[in-house]
A and B are shown apart, each in its own frame.
Chain A
Protein backbone atom coordinates (compact mmCIF):
# COMPACT_ATOMS: atom_id res chain seq x y z
CA UNK A 1 0.00 0.00 0.00
CA UNK A 2 2.91 2.28 0.76
CA UNK A 3 4.16 1.69 -2.76
CA UNK A 4 0.79 2.80 -4.22
CA UNK A 5 0.33 5.72 -1.81
CA UNK A 6 3.77 7.09 -2.62
CA UNK A 7 3.01 7.10 -6.33
CA UNK A 8 -0.62 8.33 -6.31
CA UNK A 9 0.40 11.60 -7.97
CA UNK A 10 2.60 9.94 -10.56
CA UNK A 11 1.82 11.24 -14.12
CA UNK A 12 0.97 7.68 -15.33
CA UNK A 13 -1.68 7.11 -12.66
CA UNK A 14 -4.53 8.62 -14.67
CA UNK A 15 -3.69 6.55 -17.74
CA UNK A 16 -3.31 3.32 -15.74
CA UNK A 17 -6.63 3.82 -13.95
CA UNK A 18 -8.37 4.56 -17.26
CA UNK A 19 -7.04 1.36 -18.83
CA UNK A 20 -8.04 -0.70 -15.78
CA UNK A 21 -11.54 0.81 -15.78
CA UNK A 22 -12.01 0.17 -19.51
CA UNK A 23 -10.77 -3.40 -19.11
CA UNK A 24 -13.15 -4.03 -16.21
CA UNK A 25 -16.09 -2.56 -18.14
CA UNK A 26 -15.28 -4.73 -21.14
CA UNK A 27 -14.98 -7.87 -19.06
CA UNK A 28 -18.28 -7.23 -17.29
CA UNK A 29 -20.00 -6.45 -20.58
CA UNK A 30 -18.64 -9.62 -22.18
CA UNK A 31 -19.88 -11.70 -19.24
CA UNK A 32 -23.33 -10.10 -19.38
CA UNK A 33 -23.53 -10.31 -23.17
CA UNK A 34 -22.84 -14.04 -23.24
CA UNK A 35 -25.44 -14.65 -20.53
CA UNK A 36 -28.14 -12.57 -22.26
CA UNK A 37 -29.38 -15.03 -24.95
CA UNK A 38 -29.87 -17.83 -22.43
CA UNK A 39 -32.11 -15.55 -20.37
CA UNK A 40 -34.04 -14.44 -23.42
CA UNK A 41 -34.59 -17.98 -24.64
CA UNK A 42 -36.29 -19.20 -21.48
CA UNK A 43 -39.36 -17.00 -21.56
CA UNK A 44 -40.52 -16.03 -18.08
CA UNK A 45 -44.12 -15.66 -17.00
CA UNK A 46 -43.81 -11.84 -17.00
CA UNK A 47 -42.45 -12.00 -20.56
CA UNK A 48 -45.45 -14.06 -21.64
CA UNK A 49 -47.82 -11.55 -20.02
CA UNK A 50 -46.01 -8.60 -21.62
CA UNK A 51 -45.96 -10.44 -24.95
CA UNK A 52 -49.69 -11.04 -24.77
CA UNK A 53 -50.36 -7.34 -24.26
CA UNK A 54 -48.08 -6.45 -27.21
CA UNK A 55 -49.73 -9.15 -29.32
CA UNK A 56 -53.24 -7.92 -28.61
CA UNK A 57 -52.26 -4.36 -29.51
CA UNK A 58 -50.08 -4.97 -32.56
CA UNK A 59 -50.81 -8.35 -34.11
CA UNK A 60 -54.30 -9.56 -33.24
CA UNK A 61 -56.10 -7.52 -35.91
CA UNK A 62 -54.67 -9.80 -38.60
CA UNK A 63 -53.71 -12.98 -36.73
CA UNK A 64 -56.83 -13.10 -34.51
CA UNK A 65 -57.37 -12.58 -30.80
CA UNK A 66 -56.51 -16.23 -30.07
CA UNK A 67 -53.79 -16.32 -32.80
CA UNK A 68 -56.17 -18.57 -34.70
CA UNK A 69 -55.64 -16.67 -37.96
CA UNK A 70 -58.08 -14.57 -40.00
CA UNK A 71 -58.70 -13.90 -43.66
CA UNK A 72 -55.83 -11.39 -43.64
CA UNK A 73 -53.25 -13.33 -41.62
CA UNK A 74 -52.27 -16.97 -41.02
CA UNK A 75 -52.62 -18.78 -37.70
CA UNK A 76 -49.68 -18.53 -35.32
CA UNK A 77 -50.48 -21.72 -33.42
CA UNK A 78 -47.37 -23.88 -33.52
CA UNK A 79 -45.14 -21.48 -35.48
CA UNK A 80 -42.81 -21.26 -32.49
CA UNK A 81 -40.59 -18.58 -30.98
CA UNK A 82 -38.07 -18.86 -33.83
CA UNK A 83 -40.67 -17.77 -36.39
CA UNK A 84 -41.75 -14.76 -34.29
CA UNK A 85 -38.14 -13.76 -33.68
CA UNK A 86 -37.31 -14.02 -37.39
CA UNK A 87 -40.35 -12.10 -38.64
CA UNK A 88 -40.32 -9.34 -36.00
CA UNK A 89 -36.57 -8.78 -35.51
CA UNK A 90 -36.02 -8.54 -39.28
CA UNK A 91 -38.87 -5.99 -39.50
CA UNK A 92 -40.96 -8.18 -41.83
CA UNK A 93 -43.77 -8.12 -39.26
CA UNK A 94 -45.83 -6.10 -38.65
CA UNK A 95 -46.57 -5.57 -42.34
CA UNK A 96 -46.31 -2.01 -43.60
CA UNK A 97 -48.76 -2.75 -46.41
CA UNK A 98 -50.33 -5.89 -47.86
CA UNK A 99 -48.39 -7.15 -50.87
CA UNK A 100 -46.90 -10.19 -52.54
CA UNK A 101 -44.37 -10.59 -49.75
CA UNK A 102 -43.41 -9.10 -46.37
CA UNK A 103 -40.36 -6.88 -46.82
CA UNK A 104 -37.46 -6.65 -44.35
CA UNK A 105 -37.26 -3.17 -42.82
CA UNK A 106 -36.30 -1.41 -39.58
CA UNK A 107 -37.85 -3.46 -36.76
CA UNK A 108 -40.86 -1.91 -35.01
CA UNK A 109 -40.24 -3.64 -31.67
CA UNK A 110 -37.23 -3.56 -29.37
CA UNK A 111 -35.28 -6.71 -28.57
CA UNK A 112 -37.10 -7.13 -25.24
CA UNK A 113 -40.51 -6.67 -26.88
CA UNK A 114 -39.59 -9.18 -29.58
CA UNK A 115 -38.49 -11.68 -26.95
CA UNK A 116 -41.78 -11.11 -25.09
CA UNK A 117 -43.83 -11.68 -28.26
CA UNK A 118 -41.84 -14.83 -29.02
CA UNK A 119 -42.35 -16.09 -25.46
CA UNK A 120 -46.10 -15.48 -25.70
CA UNK A 121 -46.51 -17.28 -29.04
CA UNK A 122 -44.29 -20.15 -27.83
CA UNK A 123 -46.47 -20.47 -24.72
CA UNK A 124 -49.58 -21.13 -26.86
CA UNK A 125 -48.33 -24.28 -28.54
CA UNK A 126 -44.92 -25.92 -29.05
CA UNK A 127 -42.92 -24.91 -32.12
CA UNK A 128 -39.34 -24.32 -33.24
CA UNK A 129 -37.38 -22.48 -30.52
CA UNK A 130 -34.98 -19.61 -31.06
CA UNK A 131 -31.59 -21.22 -31.85
CA UNK A 132 -29.11 -21.25 -28.99
CA UNK A 133 -25.61 -19.75 -29.20
CA UNK A 134 -24.31 -23.33 -29.38
CA UNK A 135 -26.50 -24.12 -32.41
CA UNK A 136 -25.32 -20.94 -34.13
CA UNK A 137 -21.63 -21.63 -33.51
CA UNK A 138 -20.32 -22.35 -36.99
CA UNK A 139 -16.65 -21.78 -36.13
CA UNK A 140 -15.81 -25.47 -36.69
CA UNK A 141 -18.20 -25.92 -39.62
CA UNK A 142 -16.94 -27.44 -42.89
CA UNK A 143 -17.42 -24.54 -45.31
CA UNK A 144 -16.76 -26.68 -48.42
CA UNK A 145 -19.40 -29.21 -47.32
CA UNK A 146 -21.65 -26.22 -46.61
CA UNK A 147 -21.15 -25.13 -50.22
CA UNK A 148 -22.31 -28.53 -51.50
CA UNK A 149 -25.37 -28.46 -49.24
CA UNK A 150 -26.10 -24.83 -50.16
CA UNK A 151 -26.05 -25.66 -53.88
CA UNK A 152 -28.34 -28.68 -53.37
CA UNK A 153 -30.83 -27.05 -50.99
CA UNK A 154 -30.64 -23.26 -51.22
CA UNK A 155 -29.06 -22.09 -54.48
CA UNK A 156 -32.15 -22.76 -56.59
CA UNK A 157 -33.92 -19.79 -54.99
CA UNK A 158 -31.22 -17.71 -53.27
CA UNK A 159 -28.79 -17.97 -56.25
CA UNK A 160 -25.37 -19.61 -56.20
CA UNK A 161 -23.69 -16.54 -54.68
CA UNK A 162 -26.54 -15.74 -52.25
CA UNK A 163 -27.83 -12.78 -54.23
CA UNK A 164 -31.49 -13.86 -54.07
CA UNK A 165 -33.85 -14.32 -56.99
CA UNK A 166 -37.36 -13.96 -58.33
CA UNK A 167 -40.23 -16.33 -57.58
CA UNK A 168 -43.73 -16.21 -59.06
CA UNK A 169 -46.10 -13.23 -59.09
CA UNK A 170 -43.92 -10.63 -57.38
CA UNK A 171 -42.59 -12.93 -54.68
CA UNK A 172 -38.86 -13.30 -54.35
CA UNK A 173 -36.15 -15.11 -52.41
CA UNK A 174 -34.24 -12.39 -50.51
CA UNK A 175 -30.57 -11.53 -50.88
CA UNK A 176 -28.53 -13.21 -48.13
CA UNK A 177 -25.65 -10.74 -48.03
CA UNK A 178 -27.02 -8.95 -44.94
CA UNK A 179 -28.55 -12.01 -43.24
CA UNK A 180 -27.24 -12.88 -39.78
CA UNK A 181 -26.48 -16.49 -38.76
CA UNK A 182 -29.52 -16.39 -36.44
CA UNK A 183 -31.82 -15.23 -39.26
CA UNK A 184 -30.47 -17.94 -41.57
CA UNK A 185 -30.99 -20.63 -38.94
CA UNK A 186 -34.50 -19.42 -38.06
CA UNK A 187 -35.47 -19.22 -41.72
CA UNK A 188 -34.36 -22.82 -42.30
CA UNK A 189 -36.29 -24.26 -39.33
CA UNK A 190 -39.45 -22.18 -39.74
CA UNK A 191 -39.82 -21.70 -43.51
CA UNK A 192 -41.01 -18.07 -43.58
CA UNK A 193 -43.53 -17.14 -46.27
CA UNK A 194 -42.83 -19.05 -49.52
CA UNK A 195 -39.72 -20.77 -48.17
CA UNK A 196 -40.05 -24.49 -47.39
CA UNK A 197 -39.02 -25.87 -43.99
CA UNK A 198 -35.59 -27.52 -43.75
CA UNK A 199 -36.08 -29.43 -40.50
CA UNK A 200 -33.25 -30.69 -38.32
CA UNK A 201 -34.36 -34.25 -39.14
CA UNK A 202 -33.36 -34.04 -42.79
CA UNK A 203 -30.83 -31.19 -42.51
CA UNK A 204 -29.08 -31.78 -39.15
CA UNK A 205 -27.62 -28.98 -37.02
CA UNK A 206 -24.06 -29.60 -38.30
CA UNK A 207 -25.30 -29.27 -41.89
CA UNK A 208 -27.07 -26.01 -41.05
CA UNK A 209 -23.90 -24.72 -39.41
CA UNK A 210 -21.94 -25.67 -42.53
CA UNK A 211 -24.44 -23.80 -44.72
CA UNK A 212 -24.29 -20.74 -42.42
CA UNK A 213 -20.48 -20.93 -42.56
CA UNK A 214 -20.61 -21.01 -46.35
CA UNK A 215 -23.00 -18.04 -46.63
CA UNK A 216 -20.86 -16.09 -44.15
CA UNK A 217 -17.82 -16.87 -46.31
CA UNK A 218 -19.77 -15.56 -49.33
CA UNK A 219 -20.61 -12.39 -47.40
CA UNK A 220 -16.96 -11.84 -46.53
CA UNK A 221 -15.52 -12.84 -49.90
CA UNK A 222 -13.65 -10.15 -51.79
CA UNK A 223 -13.81 -9.82 -55.57
CA UNK A 224 -10.28 -10.57 -56.79
CA UNK A 225 -11.26 -9.81 -60.36
CA UNK A 226 -12.65 -6.33 -59.72
CA UNK A 227 -16.24 -5.20 -60.26
CA UNK A 228 -18.54 -7.98 -59.04
CA UNK A 229 -21.55 -6.54 -60.92
CA UNK A 230 -23.97 -8.04 -58.43
CA UNK A 231 -22.40 -11.51 -58.74
CA UNK A 232 -25.18 -12.44 -61.11
CA UNK A 233 -23.01 -14.29 -63.58
CA UNK A 234 -22.39 -13.99 -67.32
CA UNK A 235 -25.58 -12.07 -68.17
CA UNK A 236 -24.72 -8.87 -66.30
CA UNK A 237 -21.05 -9.25 -67.15
CA UNK A 238 -21.89 -9.58 -70.83
CA UNK A 239 -24.32 -6.67 -70.69
CA UNK A 240 -21.73 -4.47 -68.99
CA UNK A 241 -18.98 -5.38 -71.42
CA UNK A 242 -21.18 -4.94 -74.46
CA UNK A 243 -22.52 -1.54 -73.39
CA UNK A 244 -19.33 -0.16 -71.83
CA UNK A 245 -17.02 -1.50 -74.53
CA UNK A 246 -19.39 -0.40 -77.30
CA UNK A 247 -19.56 3.11 -75.81
CA UNK A 248 -15.75 3.25 -75.54
CA UNK A 249 -15.35 2.06 -79.14
CA UNK A 250 -17.85 4.62 -80.42
CA UNK A 251 -16.01 7.33 -78.47
CA UNK A 252 -12.68 6.25 -79.95
CA UNK A 253 -14.13 6.15 -83.46
CA UNK A 254 -15.53 9.68 -83.05
CA UNK A 255 -12.14 10.92 -81.83
CA UNK A 256 -10.35 9.28 -84.78
CA UNK A 257 -12.90 10.75 -87.17
CA UNK A 258 -12.67 14.37 -85.96
CA UNK A 259 -10.44 16.31 -88.27
CA UNK A 260 -7.52 18.03 -86.56
CA UNK A 261 -7.68 21.81 -86.55
Chain B
Protein backbone atom coordinates (compact mmCIF):
# COMPACT_ATOMS: atom_id res chain seq x y z
CA UNK B 1 0.00 0.00 0.00
CA UNK B 2 1.46 3.30 -1.03
CA UNK B 3 1.15 6.64 0.71
CA UNK B 4 -1.01 7.81 -2.18
CA UNK B 5 -3.72 5.28 -1.45
CA UNK B 6 -3.77 5.93 2.29
CA UNK B 7 -2.46 9.43 2.67
CA UNK B 8 -3.68 9.93 6.22
CA UNK B 9 -3.00 6.56 7.72
CA UNK B 10 0.65 7.44 8.28
CA UNK B 11 -0.02 11.00 9.22
CA UNK B 12 1.51 12.52 6.09
CA UNK B 13 0.05 15.58 4.41
CA UNK B 14 -2.15 14.76 1.39
CA UNK B 15 -0.27 13.47 -1.60
CA UNK B 16 -0.36 15.39 -4.88
CA UNK B 17 -3.52 14.38 -6.73
CA UNK B 18 -2.39 13.63 -10.27
CA UNK B 19 -3.51 16.24 -12.77
CA UNK B 20 -6.10 18.04 -10.55
CA UNK B 21 -4.77 21.54 -10.03
CA UNK B 22 -4.85 22.47 -6.36
CA UNK B 23 -6.86 25.61 -5.60
CA UNK B 24 -5.16 28.71 -4.36
CA UNK B 25 -6.30 28.15 -0.78
CA UNK B 26 -3.85 27.43 2.02
CA UNK B 27 -4.32 23.91 3.35
CA UNK B 28 -4.50 23.49 7.12
CA UNK B 29 -3.91 19.88 8.16
CA UNK B 30 -6.61 18.21 10.31
CA UNK B 31 -5.95 16.35 13.55
CA UNK B 32 -6.48 13.11 11.64
CA UNK B 33 -3.86 14.21 9.10
CA UNK B 34 -1.18 14.64 11.73
CA UNK B 35 -2.09 12.27 14.57
CA UNK B 36 -2.24 8.56 13.60
CA UNK B 37 -4.20 7.81 16.80
CA UNK B 38 -6.89 10.30 15.82
CA UNK B 39 -7.03 8.77 12.35
CA UNK B 40 -7.51 5.31 13.85
CA UNK B 41 -10.22 6.68 16.12
CA UNK B 42 -12.05 8.25 13.17
CA UNK B 43 -11.79 4.98 11.28
CA UNK B 44 -13.32 3.12 14.22
CA UNK B 45 -16.11 5.73 14.49
CA UNK B 46 -17.07 5.24 10.86
CA UNK B 47 -16.92 1.45 11.11
CA UNK B 48 -19.00 1.60 14.32
CA UNK B 49 -21.74 3.53 12.53
CA UNK B 50 -21.81 1.00 9.70
CA UNK B 51 -21.93 -1.93 12.17
CA UNK B 52 -24.75 -0.22 14.06
CA UNK B 53 -26.64 0.20 10.77
CA UNK B 54 -26.19 -3.52 10.09
CA UNK B 55 -27.58 -4.40 13.53
CA UNK B 56 -30.55 -2.06 13.01
CA UNK B 57 -31.41 -3.71 9.69
CA UNK B 58 -31.30 -7.12 11.37
CA UNK B 59 -33.46 -5.69 14.18
CA UNK B 60 -35.91 -4.48 11.53
CA UNK B 61 -36.36 -7.99 10.19
CA UNK B 62 -36.59 -9.37 13.73
CA UNK B 63 -39.27 -6.81 14.66
CA UNK B 64 -41.20 -7.64 11.53
CA UNK B 65 -41.19 -11.34 12.38
CA UNK B 66 -41.47 -11.25 16.16
CA UNK B 67 -43.67 -8.29 17.17
CA UNK B 68 -47.41 -8.88 17.26
CA UNK B 69 -48.94 -6.46 14.71
CA UNK B 70 -51.74 -5.60 17.16
CA UNK B 71 -49.42 -4.89 20.11
CA UNK B 72 -49.35 -1.32 21.42
CA UNK B 73 -46.78 0.40 23.57
CA UNK B 74 -46.85 3.69 25.48
CA UNK B 75 -44.10 6.12 24.55
CA UNK B 76 -43.97 9.55 26.25
CA UNK B 77 -44.90 12.45 23.94
CA UNK B 78 -46.02 10.04 21.20
CA UNK B 79 -48.73 8.40 23.31
CA UNK B 80 -50.03 4.88 22.79
CA UNK B 81 -48.70 3.66 19.46
CA UNK B 82 -48.43 0.42 17.50
CA UNK B 83 -45.30 -1.39 18.74
CA UNK B 84 -44.34 -2.91 15.41
CA UNK B 85 -44.92 0.33 13.52
CA UNK B 86 -42.62 2.29 15.79
CA UNK B 87 -39.94 -0.47 15.83
CA UNK B 88 -39.86 -0.79 12.04
CA UNK B 89 -39.70 2.96 11.52
CA UNK B 90 -37.01 3.51 14.13
CA UNK B 91 -34.78 0.66 12.87
CA UNK B 92 -35.02 1.52 9.18
CA UNK B 93 -34.77 5.27 9.70
CA UNK B 94 -31.85 5.14 12.12
CA UNK B 95 -30.06 2.51 9.99
CA UNK B 96 -30.31 4.55 6.80
CA UNK B 97 -29.25 7.68 8.70
CA UNK B 98 -26.17 5.92 10.11
CA UNK B 99 -25.00 4.83 6.64
CA UNK B 100 -25.16 8.46 5.52
CA UNK B 101 -23.63 9.80 8.74
CA UNK B 102 -20.79 7.27 8.52
CA UNK B 103 -20.06 8.20 4.91
CA UNK B 104 -19.94 11.89 5.81
CA UNK B 105 -17.73 11.27 8.84
CA UNK B 106 -15.41 9.23 6.59
CA UNK B 107 -15.26 12.03 4.02
CA UNK B 108 -14.70 14.74 6.60
CA UNK B 109 -12.08 13.03 8.74
CA UNK B 110 -10.20 10.65 6.45
CA UNK B 111 -10.61 11.46 2.76
CA UNK B 112 -8.28 14.12 1.33
CA UNK B 113 -9.59 17.60 2.15
CA UNK B 114 -7.46 19.58 -0.29
CA UNK B 115 -9.48 22.10 -2.29
CA UNK B 116 -9.20 21.28 -6.00
CA UNK B 117 -10.31 23.08 -9.12
CA UNK B 118 -12.55 21.17 -11.48
CA UNK B 119 -11.77 21.86 -15.11
CA UNK B 120 -14.71 22.32 -17.46
CA UNK B 121 -15.08 23.00 -21.15
CA UNK B 122 -16.40 26.38 -22.20
CA UNK B 123 -20.14 26.49 -22.79
CA UNK B 124 -20.51 27.87 -26.38
CA UNK B 125 -19.74 25.65 -29.38
CA UNK B 126 -16.71 26.69 -31.33
CA UNK B 127 -17.30 29.42 -33.96
CA UNK B 128 -16.76 27.11 -36.94
CA UNK B 129 -19.53 24.71 -35.83
CA UNK B 130 -21.91 27.62 -35.11
CA UNK B 131 -21.28 29.12 -38.55
CA UNK B 132 -21.87 25.74 -40.23
CA UNK B 133 -25.19 25.22 -38.46
CA UNK B 134 -26.34 28.73 -39.46
CA UNK B 135 -25.32 28.10 -43.07
CA UNK B 136 -27.23 24.78 -43.13
CA UNK B 137 -30.36 26.52 -41.86
CA UNK B 138 -30.06 29.32 -44.44
CA UNK B 139 -29.54 26.83 -47.28
CA UNK B 140 -32.62 24.79 -46.22
CA UNK B 141 -34.73 27.94 -46.04
CA UNK B 142 -33.62 29.08 -49.51
CA UNK B 143 -33.95 25.66 -51.16
CA UNK B 144 -37.43 24.98 -49.78
CA UNK B 145 -38.61 28.31 -51.12
CA UNK B 146 -40.69 29.02 -48.01
CA UNK B 147 -40.33 32.73 -48.62
CA UNK B 148 -40.95 32.51 -52.37
CA UNK B 149 -44.07 30.27 -52.56
CA UNK B 150 -46.58 32.57 -50.88
CA UNK B 151 -49.54 30.25 -51.60
CA UNK B 152 -47.88 27.21 -50.06
CA UNK B 153 -46.78 29.19 -47.02
CA UNK B 154 -50.23 30.55 -46.30
CA UNK B 155 -52.08 27.28 -46.87
CA UNK B 156 -49.61 25.49 -44.58
CA UNK B 157 -50.20 28.06 -41.84
CA UNK B 158 -53.96 27.63 -42.33
CA UNK B 159 -53.73 23.83 -42.11
CA UNK B 160 -51.64 24.02 -38.94
CA UNK B 161 -54.12 26.49 -37.42
CA UNK B 162 -57.09 24.14 -38.02
CA UNK B 163 -55.21 21.03 -36.85
CA UNK B 164 -56.07 21.39 -33.08
CA UNK B 165 -59.78 21.94 -33.73
CA UNK B 166 -60.72 18.23 -34.20
CA UNK B 167 -58.98 17.47 -30.91
CA UNK B 168 -60.91 20.21 -29.10
CA UNK B 169 -64.20 19.02 -30.64
CA UNK B 170 -63.48 15.51 -29.36
CA UNK B 171 -63.53 16.88 -25.78
CA UNK B 172 -67.27 17.28 -26.09
CA UNK B 173 -67.58 13.51 -26.00
CA UNK B 174 -66.27 13.50 -22.45
CA UNK B 175 -69.89 14.09 -21.38
CA UNK B 176 -72.20 11.32 -22.64
CA UNK B 177 -75.28 12.96 -24.11
CA UNK B 178 -77.42 10.47 -26.02
CA UNK B 179 -80.35 12.07 -27.86
CA UNK B 180 -83.07 13.21 -25.48
CA UNK B 181 -80.88 13.16 -22.37
CA UNK B 182 -80.40 16.37 -20.42
CA UNK B 183 -77.51 18.68 -21.24
CA UNK B 184 -74.76 19.24 -18.68
CA UNK B 185 -76.23 22.57 -17.57
CA UNK B 186 -79.68 20.98 -17.15
CA UNK B 187 -78.12 18.26 -15.01
CA UNK B 188 -76.36 20.88 -12.86
CA UNK B 189 -79.55 22.93 -12.55
CA UNK B 190 -81.94 20.20 -11.38
CA UNK B 191 -82.08 17.92 -8.35
CA UNK B 192 -84.24 15.02 -7.15
CA UNK B 193 -86.63 17.41 -5.40
CA UNK B 194 -90.05 17.76 -7.00
CA UNK B 195 -93.56 18.56 -5.82
CA UNK B 196 -94.67 15.97 -3.30
CA UNK B 197 -91.19 14.52 -2.72
CA UNK B 198 -91.09 13.53 0.93
CA UNK B 199 -88.25 14.89 3.09
CA UNK B 200 -86.47 12.22 5.17
CA UNK B 201 -83.59 12.34 7.65
CA UNK B 202 -80.17 11.82 6.09
CA UNK B 203 -78.53 8.43 6.81
CA UNK B 204 -81.62 7.03 8.58
CA UNK B 205 -84.33 7.83 5.96
CA UNK B 206 -87.14 8.53 8.41
CA UNK B 207 -90.02 10.80 7.32
CA UNK B 208 -90.30 13.98 9.38
CA UNK B 209 -93.37 15.66 10.85
CA UNK B 210 -93.33 19.38 11.45
CA UNK B 211 -93.77 18.80 15.19
CA UNK B 212 -90.61 16.66 15.24
CA UNK B 213 -88.39 19.71 14.80
CA UNK B 214 -88.24 22.01 17.84
CA UNK B 215 -87.47 25.71 17.49
CA UNK B 216 -83.67 25.88 17.28
CA UNK B 217 -83.55 22.41 15.79
CA UNK B 218 -81.43 21.31 12.85
CA UNK B 219 -81.98 18.23 10.68
CA UNK B 220 -79.77 17.08 7.83
CA UNK B 221 -82.22 15.71 5.29
CA UNK B 222 -82.52 14.06 1.89
CA UNK B 223 -85.27 13.18 -0.62
CA UNK B 224 -87.14 9.93 0.13
CA UNK B 225 -86.23 8.23 -3.14
CA UNK B 226 -82.52 9.06 -2.88
CA UNK B 227 -81.49 5.47 -2.14
CA UNK B 228 -83.11 4.03 -5.30
CA UNK B 229 -81.67 6.76 -7.53
CA UNK B 230 -78.25 6.40 -5.95
CA UNK B 231 -78.25 2.65 -6.56
CA UNK B 232 -79.48 3.06 -10.14
CA UNK B 233 -76.87 5.68 -10.99
CA UNK B 234 -74.00 3.97 -9.15
CA UNK B 235 -72.72 7.30 -7.91
CA UNK B 236 -73.32 9.96 -5.27
CA UNK B 237 -74.24 12.78 -7.66
CA UNK B 238 -77.93 12.77 -6.66
CA UNK B 239 -77.01 12.91 -2.98
CA UNK B 240 -74.52 15.68 -3.58
CA UNK B 241 -77.11 17.85 -5.29
CA UNK B 242 -80.19 17.12 -3.18
CA UNK B 243 -78.68 17.38 0.33
CA UNK B 244 -80.59 19.92 2.43
CA UNK B 245 -80.79 21.12 6.00
CA UNK B 246 -84.03 21.88 7.83
CA UNK B 247 -83.92 24.53 10.54
CA UNK B 248 -86.78 25.79 12.63
CA UNK B 249 -86.94 29.31 14.00
CA UNK B 250 -89.63 31.42 15.58
CA UNK B 251 -91.64 32.63 12.52
CA UNK B 252 -91.31 36.22 13.79
CA UNK B 253 -87.53 35.95 13.42
CA UNK B 254 -87.71 35.21 9.68
CA UNK B 255 -86.98 38.57 8.07
CA UNK B 256 -87.32 37.40 4.46
CA UNK B 257 -87.46 34.28 2.35
CA UNK B 258 -86.75 33.54 -1.30
CA UNK B 259 -90.47 33.00 -1.99
CA UNK B 260 -93.76 33.75 -0.25
CA UNK B 261 -94.67 31.03 2.24
CA UNK B 262 -91.76 28.76 1.36
CA UNK B 263 -91.37 27.86 5.04
CA UNK B 264 -93.71 25.59 6.97
CA UNK B 265 -94.56 27.04 10.38
CA UNK B 266 -91.04 28.46 10.71
CA UNK B 267 -89.30 25.39 9.30
CA UNK B 268 -86.97 26.45 6.49
CA UNK B 269 -85.24 24.13 4.02
CA UNK B 270 -81.95 25.27 2.51
CA UNK B 271 -79.44 23.52 0.27
CA UNK B 272 -76.52 21.99 2.19
CA UNK B 273 -74.06 22.76 -0.62
CA UNK B 274 -72.03 25.97 -0.38
CA UNK B 275 -72.45 28.26 -3.39
CA UNK B 276 -68.73 29.07 -3.34
CA UNK B 277 -66.99 25.79 -4.22
CA UNK B 278 -69.53 23.24 -3.06
CA UNK B 279 -68.51 22.15 0.43
CA UNK B 280 -71.36 20.52 2.38
CA UNK B 281 -72.23 22.89 5.21
CA UNK B 282 -74.39 22.56 8.29
CA UNK B 283 -72.60 24.81 10.80
CA UNK B 284 -75.83 26.45 11.85
CA UNK B 285 -75.80 28.83 14.80
CA UNK B 286 -79.28 28.70 16.29
CA UNK B 287 -79.00 32.15 17.90
CA UNK B 288 -77.73 34.20 14.95
CA UNK B 289 -79.30 31.93 12.27
CA UNK B 290 -75.97 32.13 10.46
CA UNK B 291 -74.81 29.18 8.39
CA UNK B 292 -71.03 29.03 8.20
CA UNK B 293 -68.95 27.13 5.65
CA UNK B 294 -65.88 25.54 7.25
CA UNK B 295 -63.87 25.61 4.02
CA UNK B 296 -63.61 29.36 3.34
CA UNK B 297 -65.80 30.92 6.02
CA UNK B 298 -68.63 31.99 3.72
CA UNK B 299 -71.54 32.89 6.00
CA UNK B 300 -75.21 32.87 5.00
CA UNK B 301 -78.08 34.40 6.99
CA UNK B 302 -80.87 31.83 6.92
CA UNK B 303 -83.30 34.28 8.56
CA UNK B 304 -82.80 36.63 5.61
CA UNK B 305 -83.27 34.62 2.39
CA UNK B 306 -79.91 32.88 2.84
CA UNK B 307 -78.03 36.00 1.74
CA UNK B 308 -74.24 36.03 2.01
CA UNK B 309 -73.14 38.10 5.01
CA UNK B 310 -69.44 37.23 4.93
CA UNK B 311 -66.89 35.36 2.88
CA UNK B 312 -66.11 34.57 -0.74
CA UNK B 313 -69.47 33.05 -1.78
CA UNK B 314 -71.02 35.15 -4.56
CA UNK B 315 -74.57 33.76 -4.48
CA UNK B 316 -77.18 33.25 -1.76
CA UNK B 317 -77.95 29.76 -0.45
CA UNK B 318 -80.85 28.35 -2.53
CA UNK B 319 -84.04 27.73 -0.52
CA UNK B 320 -86.39 24.78 -1.10
CA UNK B 321 -90.13 25.51 -0.79
CA UNK B 322 -91.67 22.98 1.60
CA UNK B 323 -95.11 21.97 2.88
CA UNK B 324 -96.79 18.88 4.36
CA UNK B 325 -98.58 16.01 2.62
CA UNK B 326 -101.98 14.64 3.70
CA UNK B 327 -100.27 12.34 6.25
CA UNK B 328 -98.59 15.34 7.89
CA UNK B 329 -95.04 14.56 6.75
CA UNK B 330 -92.82 17.31 5.36
CA UNK B 331 -92.45 17.34 1.58
CA UNK B 332 -90.97 19.56 -1.10
CA UNK B 333 -93.34 21.85 -3.02
CA UNK B 334 -91.05 21.93 -6.12
CA UNK B 335 -87.42 21.59 -7.12
CA UNK B 336 -84.98 24.34 -6.21
CA UNK B 337 -85.84 27.48 -8.15
CA UNK B 338 -82.17 28.24 -8.83
CA UNK B 339 -79.19 25.91 -9.37
CA UNK B 340 -77.59 24.72 -6.14
CA UNK B 341 -73.86 24.66 -5.48
CA UNK B 342 -71.05 26.60 -7.12
CA UNK B 343 -71.49 28.75 -10.22
CA UNK B 344 -70.85 27.34 -13.69
CA UNK B 345 -70.56 28.81 -17.17
CA UNK B 346 -74.07 28.21 -18.40
CA UNK B 347 -75.67 29.33 -15.12
CA UNK B 348 -78.13 32.11 -15.88
Contact = CB atoms under 8 A, between A and B. Distances in A.
A197 B216 contact: yes
Interface string A170-211: 010100000000000000000101111111011100010000
A260 interface: yes
Contacts of A196: 216-218, 247, 284, 286
A226 interface: yes
A99 interface: no
B212 interface: yes
Interface string A220-231: 001111111000
Given A196-B217, A201-B213, A226-B86, A260 B109 contact: yes
A224 B72 contact: yes
Interface stretch (B53-61, B122-130, B156-164, B196-204): B196-204
Interface stretch (A13-21, A37-45, A108-116, A150-158): A150-158
A199 B286 CA distance: 14
A91 to B, nearest CB: 20
A10 interface: no
B281 interface: yes
Contacts of A207: 204
Interface residues of A, number: 35
A201 B86 contact: no
B268 to A, nearest CB: 12
Given A152-B202, A165-B294, A202-B217, A260 B113 contact: yes
Contact of B72 (A156, A193, A222): A222
B285 A168 contact: yes
A71 interface: no
A261 interface: yes
Contacts of B144: none
Contacts of B299: 168
B108 A260 contact: yes
Nearest to A192: B286
B208 A225 contact: no
Contacts of B82: 224-225
Nearest to B97: A252
Interface centre among B32, B72, B281, B285 (most CB of A within 10 A): B285
B203 A194 contact: no
A33 interface: no
Interface string B283-306: 111111010101001010000000
Interface of B: 30-32, 72, 77-82, 85-86, 89, 104, 108-109, 113, 201-204, 206, 208-209, 211-220, 247, 280-288, 290, 292, 294, 297, 299, 310
21 contacts: A149-B204, A152-B203, A156-B283, A167-B285, A167-B292, A168-B292, A168-B310, A195-B286, A196-B217, A197-B214, A202-B201, A202-B206, A202-B219, A207-B204, A222-B72, A222-B81, A225-B85, A256-B108, A260-B30, A260-B31, A261-B31
Which 3 A/B pairs are nearest by Cβ-Cβ distance?
Answer: A196-B218, A201-B212, A222-B80
Interface of A: 148-149, 152-153, 156-157, 165, 167-168, 171, 173, 191, 193-199, 201-203, 207, 222-228, 255-256, 259-261
Given A196-B217, A197-B218, A201-B213, 4 more contacts: A167-B285, A197-B216, A207-B204, A227-B79
